Structure 1
Amino acid sequence: MKSLRVVVRHYGGPEALEIVEEDAPHPASGELRVRTIAAGVSFAELLMREGIHPEKTILPFTPGWDIVGIVDEAGERASHSMVGKMVAALPVHGGYAQFICLPEDELIPVPTGVDPAEAVSLVLNYVTAYQMMHRLGHASPGQRVLIHGAAGGVGTALLQLGRLAGLEMYGTASLAAHQIVSDLGATPIDYERADFVKEIHRLTNDGVDVVFDGVGEANVWRSFRTLRPGGRVIAYGFTSFLQKGQLAEGLRYRLRGILRPAWYAVRAFVSPGRRRILPYSIQYLKRWKLAWFRDDLGALLELLRDGKIKPMVAERMPLTEARRAQELLGQGGVKGKLVLMAASR
């Protein structure tokens, strides 16, 4: 049986993505083969394609952090009872393919009747949001939070989960996305025309309890300045690498973008007011606490099944349009989650 897969043979822009046709893989001992239905598109994959993400792999590699699909073959010492069931996984790489083989304990059952494109939106974006909010941020009802990139994939996840948690929310977004932010229960702030630090202090007097910062670079310290005593900035991304729709050029700039938040975290630790800057990485936390990842994704899938959350799918695109999907994400302004539909022929 033939299968399509996206391959990166050299680091670079979207043109580095190519489609190959090959024999479908077979699962090794302890593995299950998944026929991919939906694969998410994330900013981390753009950084991996450029060769500047901590999770970059040896060339050639297949991108794809998050997938949902049907188990269609079991290897030796793997549970044959899983065959035919829909599952979700966070493989970190390899998801842009019609078939992927993964260890059995990496797969989380997906409830029947759930939309695969909505389900895959939970695996990376909503687990990231949930763990930052509850595992790291310890947000509680009535607390104030600031969400950067509030109309994006993780941003909309934070807004939906924050509303369920009873938080008072503020979200930075372009003016065109303000209605989305408002509809999801937050006060929008136009980051292009307003200084969000001044706006937060104008709107709240004494600041917020938690900031979710996926921008990185100097934005992390500006987020720190919005905190009230005892507050926390959760730093989890580097969208500051985007300059006019393209990834910033120059190793010096990129290293600065990664190292500067670490310096800010040290600076925050010695600042008055017990305010902190805390890094978050879904893949590192998953490796340290796989049970947390399984529990958190399972809880989110139940919320999706029960209609308590509704992921915003920006667009569903064929796997063969992976290059265009990454181009769209790199240009910025995507509202929600881009999803590649990878049903095999």
Structure 2
Amino acid sequence: MGSSTATSTVTEIVLPGKVEPEGLQITTRDLPAPAAGQVVLGMEATGVSFAEQQMRRGKYFDQPPFPFVPGYDVVGTVLATGPGVDRALIGQRFAAVTKVGGWASALVLDAVDLVPVPDGVAPAAAETVVVNGLTAWQMLHRKAAVQPGGIIVVLGANGGVGSTLVQLARHSGIRVIGTASPWHHAALREQGVTPIDYNDPEMYRRIREFAPDGVDAVFDHVGGPGIVESWRLLRRGGTLVSYGSAATKNVEGNAKLPVLKMFPRLMMWNYLPNGKSAQFYNLWDGQRRIEAYRLRQREDLTQVLQLLADGALTPQIAAEFPLSQTGSALALAESRTVAGKVVIVPDPPRS
């Protein structure tokens, strides 16, 4: 495929409504030729993030109406270019954050949103740090700005974002207390993390024992009532970064409500005279100034991919599934038994 009007057939995984993972649908359609400024990217790896787990329940903050193709990020090779795009991109590997649409054998994207994947980095390895790496990098270095020698708490330190956050923090000389179920504790200790059982009713008291003077930052994707305890762990000058509401993932009702309820409380805490700050992290913040936003995303993701290429980050691949088995991939990711990212790859070609 060159920059022509040719179409090709694409296989997509559609989320038809609020269904169990096995309710995902496999469809095929013609993929239109890329328009001006666009490319066709052949998917080599996509994955399951917490966002899709929320979308399945209709609980993700600003998901599109059903039916749609999920897939928050993608790694692949450019197959075709539209008018005004350098044809030299064809055959090169890129990563992109898509929010939706990644669960497909190929997709049309704006060329400006592509970030080059360094030579020698495998697609599945790169996939583990696209949305997770970007999220972790920005929370650690842009939101909380934790300095070397600091100490942080990562809730869910074995998850997709959590495991990347742990590695970035340790690489920067930051001490980490991480919560996870006991079967992940040995692996966390190997990374220099102090593990705490997140099922322990005394979890917050246990964290305080390891950091009696408070911590520099808490990264909390759980939300709900426990967010108050996360706030109390901070020392003066510390930052709470809230980036989700996993505690309410099974609660029926408006998907935006848990976040909207939490937001005023976080903002109010910023006015208390204790030097602490509370931030809400959303990957899509700042899109009103789209050029600056795109530059920042490209800059940060380039840094993370380079750390991966340099061996400073180890890709945490929980499992790989072919695209046609995305339902099984989603079910495994939701089982809370895995460390790292569940990755989706193309189906093998039919012989």
Regarding TM over 0.5, the answer is yes
Q: CA deviation at 1:75?
A: 0.9
Match of 2:4 in 1: none
Asked if the contact 1:206/1:228 (under 8 Å) is kept, the reply is: yes
The root-mean-square deviation of aligned C-alpha atoms, in Å, is 1.7
The match for 2:198 among 186, 191, 196 is 191
Deviates more, 1:284-293 or 1:198-207: 284-293
Identity across aligned pairs (percent)? Answer: 34
Q: Distance in 2 between matches of 1:338 and 1:313?
A: 6
Which residues of 2 match residues 134-283 of structure 1 at below 5 A?
134-241=141-248, 247-251=249-253, 257-283=258-284
- Indicate whether 1:322 and 2:342 are aligned: no
Asked if the contact 1:30/1:75 (under 8 Å) is kept, the reply is: yes
Q: Distance in 1 between matches of 2:188 and 2:199?
A: 15
Residue type at the aligned position of 2:225: A
Q: CA deviation at 1:194?
A: 4.6
Residue type at the aligned position of 1:323: G
Which residues of 2 match residues 76-155 of structure 1 at below 5 A?
76-155=83-162
Deviates more, 1:10-19 or 1:67-76: 10-19
1:245-294: CA deviations, max 9, x gaps?
A: xx414217x55532332132134124331112100011224656111110
Q: CA deviation at 1:334?
A: 2.3
Q: CA deviation at 1:41?
A: 0.7
Asked if the contact 1:264/1:277 (under 8 Å) is kept, the reply is: no
Deviates more, 1:64-73 or 1:276-285: 276-285
- Indicate whether 1:296 and 2:330 are aligned: no
The runs of at least 4 aligned residues of structure 1 exceeding 4 Å deviation read: 285-288
Match of 1:59 in 2: 66
Q: Distance in 1 between matches of 2:32 and 2:21?
A: 25
Q: CA deviation at 1:161?
A: 0.4
Q: What residue ranges of structure 2 are gaps of 5+ in the alignment?
A: 1-7
Residue type at the aligned position of 2:207: I
Asked if the contact 2:136/2:165 (under 8 Å) is kept, the reply is: yes
Q: Distance in 2 between matches of 1:156 and 1:165?
A: 14
Residue type at the aligned position of 2:54: L
Q: CA deviation at 1:138?
A: 0.4
Q: CA deviation at 1:236?
A: 0.6
Residue type at the aligned position of 2:331: E
Q: CA deviation at 1:59?
A: 2.8
- Indicate whether 1:36 and 2:43 are aligned: yes
Q: Distance in 2 between matches of 1:16 and 1:122?
A: 28
Q: Distance in 2 between matches of 1:343 and 1:299?
A: 30
Q: Distance in 1 between matches of 2:274 and 2:60?
A: 33
Asked if the contact 1:217/1:256 (under 8 Å) is kept, the reply is: no
* TM-score of the superposed pair, with normalisation by structure 1: 0.93
Asked if the contact 1:73/1:83 (under 8 Å) is kept, the reply is: yes
Match of 1:308 in 2: 312
Q: Distance in 1 between matches of 2:257 and 2:41?
A: 39
Asked if the contact 1:3/1:344 (under 8 Å) is kept, the reply is: no
Q: What residue ranges of structure 1 are gaps of 5+ in the alignment?
A: 242-246
Q: Distance in 1 between matches of 2:295 and 2:160?
A: 24
Q: Distance in 1 between matches of 2:199 and 2:17?
A: 35
Asked if the contact 1:25/1:99 (under 8 Å) is kept, the reply is: no
